[in-house]
Amino acid sequence: MVVVGNVSVEFGKYFPATVDQFWATFCTQSLGRRLQHRLMLNIWMGKKRALLGSFKPKSADYARLVGLGDKFAGVWLTCEPGHGLLCLDDLHWGMAGRLRLGLPPAEDIFFCGCGVNLSTDTSHFLSCKLLGSLWNFRHRRLVGLLARFAESASIQTRLEPAIGEGKERADIAFSFTSDITLVDVTVVHNQCPTHRSKASKALGLASWAEREKLHQYESKAREEGKRFVPVVFETSGGLGVAAVGFLHTLCEEMSVEVARAVFGVLPFTFISRALSVQLQFSNANIMLRGSRLVRCARTGHLPRI
């Protein structure tokens, strides 16, 4: 057991217990591949457990940290701005960073127009019904991106196709070579007070949303000989299992050579990065508009924003 910072890390499975045993072992054999990676992963997992242990399991910060543990949650941070869809301006990048760190949207506002204390629910604007129109903007943006990627691969799409005999509709229908796939896009907020218990497990909220959508639409789509896939994003950046599978299916329909010419990288790499960046852009946009709305209400001026 070794203490790194304030975290105890177990290295026994990688190294002998004593110095003599260490030299006797590694003078005759290799350290093995990726040892540095395994050691650092062990350290960071120990730090993650210690950090999570400092918060209550159903708190907003606990849900935020669990959500940020998904491998897609930090993709937007490492994107090179070589394409318009991979760029964030300073204002939106700063707000997305505050969201990731659990900071309030601004230092000079303390309450939402609906009365919620922003110091205890720093990401409240992402679940405030007063900003519902901006949720729709975020939804349309993500749906439009999926349709745009399909069109770049000459995959036919149809927006808002009907499901079953009722008036229910999916978001997009994709005409793949193997089948017609109906997709419904959903964005769920990890730190919303009503969802924190589900968000206390990795992708727990996304999995719940997927089950809800499948229960609602899957059987109706199957009766029409079509496949239904729920594409669920968590506001922290996590992607549901079904969403990842759908993106792989979409990329398999694309020519790698064409994708490299258009995007500069493999299709899955570009699409996952673009969706990550644009999701955070939309989240930041909601937070910025909410902040402006609060300031306008406080001063008595309510111009169009």
Model confidence pLDDT, tens digit, residues 190-242: 999 999 999 999 999 999 999 999 999 999 999 999 999 999 999 999 999 99
Amino acid at 262: V
pLDDT at 160 over 70: yes
Task: Please state the rounded mean pLDDT for residues 173-191.
Answer: 95
Positive or negative, the CA dihedral 149, 153, 155, 158 is: positive
- Per-residue model confidence as pLDDT tens digits over 232-254: 999 999 999 999 999 999 998 88
The pLDDT score that the predictor gives to residue 36 is: 77
pLDDT at 146 over 60: yes
Backbone angles phi, psi at 20, to 5 degrees: -60, -45
| Tally of CA atoms within 13 A in the half-sphere of 188 that contains its CB | 28
Task: Categorize the per-residue pLDDT at 13 as very low, low, confident or very high, splitting at 50, 70 and 90.
Answer: low
Of 262, 282, 287, nearest in space to 141 by CA? 282
Count the residues in the chain: 305
Task: Please state the rounded mean pLDDT for residues 46-51.
Answer: 84
74 token code pair: 């930090």
pTM: 0.86
- Per-residue model confidence as pLDDT tens digits over 75-115: 999 998 888 899 999 999 999 999 999 999 988 888 888 88
The pLDDT score that the predictor gives to residue 154 is: 85
The pLDDT score that the predictor gives to residue 109 is: 87
What is the arrangement of strands in the sheet containing 227-234, beginning at the earlier edge strand?
157-159, 172-175, 180-188, 227-234
Task: Categorize the per-residue pLDDT at 305 as very low, low, confident or very high, splitting at 50, 70 and 90.
Answer: very low
Average pLDDT of the residues of the chain: 87
Task: Categorize the per-residue pLDDT at 51 as very low, low, confident or very high, splitting at 50, 70 and 90.
Answer: confident
The pLDDT score that the predictor gives to residue 50 is: 85
- Compute the distance between CA of residue 223 and CA of residue 183 in angstroms, rounded to an integer: 16
pLDDT at 186 over 60: yes
pLDDT at 282 over 50: yes
Q: 175 forms bridges with which residues in the sheet? A: 180
Amino acid at 160: E
The pLDDT score that the predictor gives to residue 255 is: 77
- Per-residue model confidence as pLDDT tens digits over 253-276: 887 777 777 777 888 999 999 999
| Tally of CA atoms within 13 A in the half-sphere of 282 that contains its CB | 28
pLDDT at 3 over 70: no
